[in-house]
Amino acid sequence: MASEKKPRRGLSRRDFVKGAATGAAAATGAMALTGPARADSERKERDREGDRGRQAECDGSHDLVLTNGRILTLDRANTVVSAIAIKNGRIARVGREEEVGPCARKVNLHGATVIPGLIDSHVHIIRCGINPGHEARLIETASSVAELQQMISDRAESLPAGDFITCIGGWNRNGLAEKRLPTAAELDSASPRNPVYLSETGGGGQAVTNTSGAAFFAAHGVAVGPGGIVSSTGSAMTALVSVQTEADKQRSTAEVMDFASSLGLTMTHDMGGLVGLGAFKYSLNLWREGSLNVRQRFFFWSGADPGISEGEARITNNLNQLGDDFYRSIGVGERVNTSTTNPLFVDICKFAASNGWTLTQHSLTLAEIQFHVAAYQQAATVGPIAQLRWSLCHVQAITDDLIAQVKQLGIALNVQGTSYTGRLAATPAGPPFRKLLDAGIPCGGGTDGTNVAPLNPWLMIFYMTTGRNNNGDLLNPGQSISRLEALKMYTSGSAFLSFDDAKLGTLEKGKLADLVVLSDDPLKVSDDKLRKLRSVLTLQEGKAVHATGSFAELLAEA
């Protein structure tokens, strides 16, 4: 977890006394000097005093000048520059190696590629944060059983013996060369001191554990079969949750934020769901202590209500878009009723529009999209839904006719590549990314992680740009977009959906300095390497919240 933001401070009492003594000694020495020697001594003392003053002034500063890089600003002109300067958390210069004051530190990027911080416009990161155990989410990118074993072994190195290692959803066996789950023996080899529980999304829809994990589940009435296959994922989760503490949930929330930051995510739009508002307290605690290193935007979810009274209560009893640049509500959704096609949906749409609230809605199948577009058309008669940046989620089955209607409404879409790990049999593998962008519809990129898809944005960008799932199957032919277009969906596109586009999403003068130095160039690497991209340095308002290798010292100073 990133360290707490430190306030600026002046000279301490010790510094003051030390400085005074130094000054007195210098004065005594100066009495014995004359001419050039005395002038030189006085000059050196003035320099020392200046250095001490600058040190006091710069305590807590995160001003930086990044040089010798390949900086993709992702502005309208797709400008690429070699340098960028940051002052007081904002971008002060683009394309010039100018100093921005005595507190600025120059960092040589040695040719590394920089992008704006990635923004996931549709995710369930709060729910992921309270998953039991210590998650090894990097498993989402494993391409073999051996690589998965190594990831578990690496995760175990920093954990106390007996603590569970987990990865709950967002991956499956199809991404592994062997096209099978690891065995209990293979998990024992990778983690002899820690129980392991891994449950997949799609694939076979199963979960596997190792020997010590099987003993835990047996003690809680959950059967484990040959090879470590768990008999019931639901019962297994109940058992794991039963031993969780409040401290566990706080710790795991911080861990998932750290992991997201290591991928280059600097903000997420949380869609709520199944966990209630109580689960938000753990990320709120990080915000209060100044260590929330992934900005949060969230929708008020009321998907357990068979009517619309809960959704109306949310709108009536909450301040609209309350919060700051780090933590803020956006509106209501992605579900406002237990059914996605309840006739009452029209009424809640009108209520939200007339009260000036933003709304987003889960809209996957053809029947859902048709119904929701018609409801939005009625809501547009009572409120400016385009200006409120209403959106539909997913839209896998959207048709050309419905694309035209969405364009006419002026609303936006938040779209994902969930078919990377699997899809519902009744829906297409879309969305039709190419058609949506060609129509000029504002789109934000996201994952819908982690129960139904990975949290890793690079896996979604891989799907958006190739149309292929983790098994290598071409599922979305003709609808691929360029990597540059995908990056823009994940930056300025998502920032637009949360009214953050004036401050975030591109690297331009005056915007907040949320940016990522990547392990490789996302516009040049192979498709396979695209899926393995990571951040080597993630900045939030110019402050390092994740750093590795030669940049690690910046994290220590943050």
Q: What is the pLDDT of residues 188-204, one digit of tens each?
A: 999 999 999 999 999 89
* pLDDT the model gives residue 61: 67
Residue 69 pLDDT exceeds 70: yes
pLDDT reported for residue 102:
80
pLDDT bracket for residue 97 (50, 70, 90)? confident
Q: What is the mean pLDDT of residues 126-135?
A: 97
pLDDT value for 309: 97
Q: What's the DSSP call for residue 491?
A: I
The string of pLDDT tens digits covering residues 148-180 is 999 999 999 999 999 999 999 999 999 999 999
Q: Which two three-digit tokens encode residue 344?
A: 């009452």
Top mean-pLDDT range of 53-57, 258-262, 426-430? 258-262
The C-alpha atoms of residue 73 and residue 395 are separated, in whole angstroms, by: 29
pLDDT > 70? residue 36: no
Residue 274's pLDDT band (cuts 50, 70, 90):
confident
Residue 56 has pLDDT above 80, yes or no: no
CA atoms within 13 A on the CB side of 267: 38
pLDDT at residue number 541: 96
Return the bridge partners of 94, or none.
84
pLDDT value at 30 more than 50: no
Tell me: pLDDT of 25 over 50.
no
**Domain 301-504: top CATH class:** alpha beta
Task: Give the residue-averaged pLDDT of 373-378.
Answer: 98
Q: What is the mean pLDDT of residues 388-412?
A: 98
Section 94-109 average pLDDT? 84
Residue 238 identity: T
Sheet strands (E) in 355-457: 358-363, 391-394, 412-416, 443-446
The b-or-e profile of 274-306 (16+ CB within 10 A means b, else e) is ebeeebbebbbebbeeebbbbbbbbbbbbbebe
The model's confidence at residue 8, banded by pLDDT at 50, 70 and 90, is very low
User: Does residue 558 have a pLDDT over 80?
Assistant: no
Centre a 10 Å sphere on the Cβ of residue 488 and count the other Cβ atoms it contains: 25
pLDDT band at residue 464 using 50, 70 and 90 as cut-offs: very high
pLDDT > 90 fraction of the chain, expressed in percent and rounded: 84
- Determine the pLDDT at residue 104: 87
Whether 53 has a pLDDT exceeding 70, the answer reads no
**Exposure pattern of 513-535 as b/e (b: 16+ CB <10 Å)?**
bbbbbbbbbbeebeeeebbbbbb
CATH number of 63-117+507-538: 2.30.40.10
pLDDT at position 12 is: 36
Predicted pLDDT of residue 74: 98
Tell me: pLDDT of 362 over 60. Answer: yes
Domain spans of the chain?
Answer: 13-58, 63-117+507-538, 131-242, 301-504
Q: What is the mean pLDDT of the chain?
A: 91
Across the strands, what pairs with 211? Answer: none
Using alpha carbons only, what angle is made at residue 47 by residues 43 and 52, rounded to the nearest 5 degrees?
150
- Residue 17 reports pLDDT greater than 80: no
Per-residue confidence (pLDDT) for residue 4, from 0 to 100:
36
| pLDDT for the residue numbered 3 | 38
123-132, 506-515, 549-558: lowest mean pLDDT where?
Answer: 549-558
d(CA 457, CA 446): 7
Mean pLDDT value of segment 255-280? 95
Q: In what order do the strands lie in the sheet with 134-135?
A: 134-135, 165-168, 196-199, 207-209
SS3 assignment, position 279: helix
pLDDT at 319: 96
Tell me which of 16-25, 56-65, 141-150, 224-233 is least confident: 16-25
pLDDT digits (tens, 9 = 90+) for 209-238: 999 999 999 999 999 999 999 999 999 999
User: In the prediction, which pLDDT does 21 show?
Assistant: 35
Question: Where does the pLDDT of residue 273 fall: very low under 50, low under 70, confident under 90, or very high at 90 and above?
Answer: confident
What tens digit of pLDDT does each residue of 537-553 get? Answer: 999 999 999 999 999 99
Exposed e or buried b per residue across 13-22, where buried means at least 16 C-beta atoms within 10 angstroms of its C-beta? eeeeeebeee
- pLDDT(305) > 50: yes
Look at residue 425 in the predicted model and tell me its pLDDT.
76
Say what the pLDDT of residue 396 is.
Answer: 96
Say if residue 46's pLDDT is above 90. no
Q: What is the pLDDT of residue 529?
A: 98
Q: From start to end of 369-424, where are the E strands?
A: 391-394, 412-416
pLDDT of 59 above 70: no
Structure confidence by residue, pLDDT tens digits, 306-327: 999 999 999 999 999 999 999 9
Distance CA 293, CA 298 (A): 16
Overall residue count recorded for the chain in this entry: 558
Using the predicted structure, report yes or no on whether residue 7 has a pLDDT greater than 60. Answer: no
Asked whether residue 31 carries a pLDDT value surpassing 90, the answer given is no
Contacts of 318 (CB under 8 A, 6+ apart): 300, 329
Question: Is the model's pLDDT at 392 over the cut of 70?
Answer: yes
Please check the confidence at residue 268 and state whether its pLDDT lies above 90. yes
Q: Is the pLDDT of residue 478 over 90?
A: yes
